[in-house]
Structure 1
């Protein structure tokens, strides 16, 4: 009976970083991501234009071209959000960043705005790969695909720390 009062241990969760459809990483058209060369994770087929923090943690790095951002969760999970394929070629045009390296973040903190329609009009595939970059330390325990994920609200994956 007293066990009911104890808080249950829950696995850490990564929330959707953008509104849209969540798909397995294998569906990304870029082999660097689909073959998991950078790490395991998922992709978002974006319906929105804002990237938000998927967990509580810190901004590790913002790429100078603003097309990608690295984050670290409080438990040490390192996570890359890469906005579109080859959008690095835009050299920051069509992107606006709201955070800096070292900033503390919480689920839903606005990180980056991208002009999805303008970038798509230039021919860019706007799929957003999201990968765990320190996968030797962490493993995905469950990936949840979703048709209409909401940024900062929809749980997309759970993970656990690997025991060394």
Structure 2
């Protein structure tokens, strides 16, 4: 009330926890066989070697980008964390074949909500790798980032990353 009366901004939530968007083996981002991800050129994060072809939202937020080839999706959490989920490596060359989207840009999503499905066997056959980077694309706005030590992750259940954004 005091803040509203004097025109001060409400303090925004600055903490976030990202649940695993996929079920599979957890891999350090530095071990992804693609320098763009391994060298964190797009941001810090983690990767999953999926065992099934379902991607769910790791956070409550909004879909801000969905590539026309359906191989990658961008989400902005309610706290402001910007997340890119890039299914497989060199999957853009599949031109959407084997991918099915279940959301659109602008949709509000809840953690655990299905975003897209994909044909894991087709990716194994036609792409460089099934490994799926989960990247914080606004890493420059992160105050602290903690990666959870987990060997296996369950989509929508396993907490992979917790972070605190810098206060603005």
TM-score by length of 2: 0.88
Equivalent of 1:93, from 97, 121, 133? 97
Residue 58 in structure 1 maps to residue 62 in structure 2: yes
1:64-106 Cα distance to aligned partner (Å, 9 max, x none):
1100000000011100000010000010001000000010111
Equivalent of 2:119, from 112, 115, 118? 115
Q: C-alpha root-mean-square deviation of aligned residues, in Å? A: 1.6
Distance 2:61 2:127 in 1: 34
TM-score by length of 1: 0.90
Distance 2:127 2:96 in 1: 16
Structure 1 residue aligned with 2:5: none
Alignment check: 8 A CA contact 1:140 1:157 kept: no
Q: Which structure 1 residue ranges, 5 or more long, are not aligned? A: 1-8
**Distance of aligned partners of 1:10 and 1:77 in 2 relative to their CA distance in 1, 3 Å threshold:** closer
Q: Which structure 2 residue ranges, 5 or more long, are not aligned? A: 1-12
Distance 2:60 2:153 in 1: 19
Number of residue equivalences: 156
Secondary structure, in 3 states, of the residue corresponding to 1:89?
helix
Alignment check: 8 A CA contact 1:21 1:145 kept: no
